[in-house]
Chain A
Amino acid sequence: MTERAIADRDIADALCEQVRSAYDARTPLRIVGGDTRAFYGRPVEGQALQMAEHSGIVSYDPVELVVTVRAGTRLSDLQEVLAEKHQMLGFEPPMFGEASTIGGAVATGLSGPRRPWAGAVRDFVLGTRIITQEGKLLRFGGEVMKNVAGYDLSRLMAGAQGTLGVLTDISFKVLPIPTATHSLRLTIGLDEALKKLAELGRKPLPITAAAWHHGELFLRLEGGKSSVAATQASLGGEPLDAGFWQELRDHTHAFFTCSADQSLWRLSLPPNTAPLALDIPEADIFYDWAGSQRWLKTTLDASTLRDACRAVGGHATCYTPQLQGGAVDPFTPLNAVVEKYHRNLKAELDAHGIFNPGRLYAAF
């Protein structure tokens, strides 16, 4: 059985001890799982807090649709355990290497192609155990679908990149794997594709992924057998290998190879945003999330991209900040008021700046 193959190790006590020492000595910690996402964000200087050893499924009851897992558990292992029961993580987390852990997936808060239809990482987080700055292991949220007691600290941890505390255990809502699936490709120009996606989006169709690149629209249908077959018949197109979505999710698709002078950027824009007036060849843009998430390979500078995104209510993230020798902020700077409350939060939950300092923004 796969569950046996996952090492069942609880090293929370040792982790708490290391955090306590770091707090007392004011030593910055660099929280490391599988170390496959270090490129995402700013580099952190600090003593490594190794999470990979803290692994195993704490509890899994498929009938409850809830799994609780230690942060160091490999993403691939967890997905295998769920798949045995015909279930999955609804947010389709990207995996940038076999060592990728579930803790890293939650901390970075990245979601895959299914995001606009199913929800993001934080939407599936039900509860967490967190090591606080004083090295105490505390529990927030729980293992039930609905829980509004106290502030929602668990969801706050998703995407905070370990800057507010150390995630040791996470409970997720999981979903059944859809009965039927079919992926297809259609030859269609960009403007027409965006129009079609807006139109399809208003109908109750079983679409769970939609991307466009270089003259082709890619769609994934998932749901009941009948509706998938009916939608497939009405849309037509050529069949597409389902592996396409994994390549897009994990950036192993050929598109993601940049030339020496290019940087890879992720644009997050409101649904139905028209193509931005940027000097980038069409072949260097990949539209995902029905157009809300756009990947760009470009030599344009950060402010040009960020200004264009801001003008339409979006933001831009640099996936290759190291290429510019750290000269580019990977994440869009916050406005003054929002930043003030980020600093306040950081000061309250991590007074000495020991948790991944500077990972998100230089100031905290």
Chain B
Amino acid sequence: MNILFDERLDGALVRRDKSEVLTDLQQAVPDMTLLHREEDLRPFECDGLAAYRVLPMLVALPETFDQVKELLKRCHALGVPVVTRGAGTGLSGGALPLEQGVLLVMSRFNQILKVDPEARLARVQPGVRNLAISEAAAPYGLYYAPDPSSQIACSIGGNVAENAGGVHCLKYGLTVHNVMRVDVLTIEGEHMTLGAESFDAPGFDLLALMNGSEGMLGVVTEITVKLLPKPETAKVLMASFDDVEKAGRAVGDIIAAGIIPGGLEMMDKLAIKAAEDFVKAGYPLDAEAILLCELDGVEADVDDDCDTVRRVLEAAGATNIQQARDEAERAKFWAGRKNAFPAVGRMSPDYYCMDGTIPRRELPRVLKGIAALSEESGLAVANVFHAGDGNMHPLILFDANKEGQLALAEEVGGKILELCVAAGGSITGEHGVGREKINQMCSQFQADEISVFHALKAAFDPQRLLNPGKNIPTLARCAEFGAMHVHNNELPHPELPRF
């Protein structure tokens, strides 16, 4: 299934002559870098969802707030769409360019403006890398909690756009829980400060709305994040299981014991093998599943909790439990998990990463469903799972050079997401909808709910110039897409016209 922008389904875009737009923008923002030659545009044709590529009309690389403001004003006046991009590590095609659009690249906004250890806040530009914030805060014994696996490269602006998570979300929250304030430019070039350095701000919580809005409501130009004191200690336990379901139940047992681990991750046999072959993390190759449980906090509490978790894991039928002896072994255990994606990448020419979430109790049923889909399609699936918060990352292995395999992988992926929705979950826990899951939005939401999303968008960007075609499908798309997925012989959205 091709997911590239389709004006027939996604809405008409203004067509303007490239050289006219170029001249116009060069005059309006004379000191800003504006790329227009094909060879200069090429590096920006995709983000982390590299299967889809579109050459943007122009690439803007502003360095100042005023440049972004003038650029947006002109694009608004010309009716030219604007797609904002950070580091380009997003996995859902949220920064996939448009042929008729300007790609606004915020990577030159890379300054950490202030680290305030007394207030435990950092004020940063959106192009700052996630990990760089924690590095800057480290001398004060502080850090920035959300840690997506791409944290070495991904930018904090992109984290806000996608409401990024990581392996420590259950205890420390997502991006939305750790951002205090954002400065935003609207498509009309108006400046808004949302949130505050204080714990709340008057009016609607537009800050919460901006998190995860995928660049559809405004362009973030500055971010203030909360910093936390580094836990005194962190210890990790690795438990092996001879059965995936037992491992799944053990996760619930740990929570039921009143413990919220800093990280609680699960990997299945295929993922274990891939990780072990790649980084030699010391994972047991004979296990059907492993759990990594990290406990952090004050030393004495962590020791108590380790004892409790060990007892819970034993009772849950773990065949082996190992506690990392030192920091080096702890890092090794995590290296296997954090490198699970590239590790799987070594086993197969291509893989397709899904991001569904489910209530944890549904794990055995959903895993069975995934195994059945894998068998039926002949495509292997490795499961990596943020078990603590029910966020699954099934990795579908395929070879794009083999006729029809990409389409098959996408079909299996779509079905996995539908399994998640049917289990009471969501099509995306942390990677975002972007362009990738635009059709699956129609399974998770009804037409009326999607209409409310459109109304919300219209409050900020009635001409739909910011990142058109992402995040929220048109009803026309749902009608078209729905026609391909008939459940129980009932046509979804029967009220809509079909093409």
Give A contacts to B, CB under 8 Å.
61-66, 86, 109, 115-116, 119-120, 122-123, 132, 136, 138-140, 142-153, 155-156, 158-160, 164, 175-177, 179, 198, 201-206, 223-227, 230, 268-272, 289, 292-293, 313-315, 317, 331-334, 337-342, 344-345, 347-349, 360-361
Contacts and interface: CB of A to CB of B under 8 A. Distances in A.
A204 B203 contact: no
B255 A63 contact: yes
A271 B198 CA distance: 6
Interface in B91-148: 116-121, 140-142
Interface in B153-177: 162-163, 165, 169-170, 173-174, 176-177
Interface in B183-227: 186, 190-194, 196-206, 208-209, 211-213, 217
Nearest to A139: B449
Given A144-B390, A147-B357, A270 B298 contact: no
Contacts of B191: 337
* Nearest 8 CB-CB pairings of A with B: A224-B301, A226-B300, A146-B429, A270-B197, A227-B298, A145-B389, A155-B208, A344-B459
Contact of B429 (A123, A144, A204): A144
B331 interface: no
Contacts of A349: 452, 455-456, 459
A151 B300 contact: no
A223 B141 CA distance: 20
A331 B359 CA distance: 38
A123 B202 contact: no
Given A145-B390, A230-B300, A315-B201, 9 more contacts: A122-B205, A145-B391, A150-B450, A151-B453, A156-B208, A158-B208, A206-B297, A344-B459, A348-B455
Contacts of B425: 142, 144, 147
A344 to B, nearest CB: 4
A163 B471 CA distance: 25
B17 interface: no
A292 to B, nearest CB: 6
B458 A150 contact: no
Contact of B359 (A66, A109, A156, A270): A66
B259 interface: yes
B465 interface: no
A345 B304 CA distance: 49
Contacts of B255: 63-65
B89 to A, nearest CB: 16
Contacts of B456: 151, 153, 345, 348-349
B252 interface: yes
B204 A156 contact: yes
A119 B446 CA distance: 31
B455 A148 contact: no
A195 to B, nearest CB: 9
5 contacts: A109-B200, A158-B208, A202-B117, A204-B230, A344-B458
Given A142-B424, A155-B209, A342-B203, A150 B142 contact: no
B459 A179 contact: no
A269 B357 contact: no
A360 B200 CA distance: 15
A150 B117 contact: no
Residue among B169, B173, B472 with max Cβ neighbours from chain A (10 Å): B173
A151 B390 contact: no
B244 interface: no
A119 B200 CA distance: 11
A338 B201 CA distance: 11
A289 B444 CA distance: 39
A144 to B, nearest CB: 4
A150 B445 contact: yes
A132 B230 CA distance: 43
Nearest to B181: A313
Most buried by B among A120, A147, A177, A349: A147
A64 B361 contact: yes
Nearest to A110: B200
B477 interface: no
Contact of B192 (A270, A315, A337): A337
A64 B360 contact: yes
Interface stretch (B66-74, B284-292, B374-382, B430-438): B430-438
Contacts of B173: 119, 123
Given A144-B358, A204-B232, A341-B460, A313 B198 contact: yes
A315 B198 contact: yes
B404 interface: no
A293 B191 CA distance: 27
Given A146-B389, A146-B429, A268-B200, A224 B186 contact: no
B494 interface: no
A175 B260 CA distance: 8
A332 B458 contact: no
Most chain-A Cβ atoms within 10 A of its Cβ — which of B117, B169, B437, B459?
B459
A226 B252 contact: no
A303 B122 CA distance: 30
A201 B446 CA distance: 45
A67 to B, nearest CB: 12
B229 interface: yes
Nearest to B170: A145
A124 to B, nearest CB: 10
A331 B202 contact: yes
Interface string B407-427: 000000000000000001111
A185 B254 CA distance: 34
B240 interface: no
B161 to A, nearest CB: 10
B258 to A, nearest CB: 4
A132 B452 contact: yes
A273 B213 CA distance: 32
A192 B456 CA distance: 47
Interface in B342-385: 357-361
B205 A142 contact: no
A122 B201 CA distance: 13
B45 interface: no
A202 B232 CA distance: 11
B205 A314 contact: no
Nearest to A309: B198
Nearest to A224: B301
B194 A272 contact: no
Contacts of B232: 204
Contact of A149 (B116, B203, B388, B437): B437
A120 B120 CA distance: 17
B198 A270 contact: yes
A146 B425 CA distance: 9
B294 interface: no
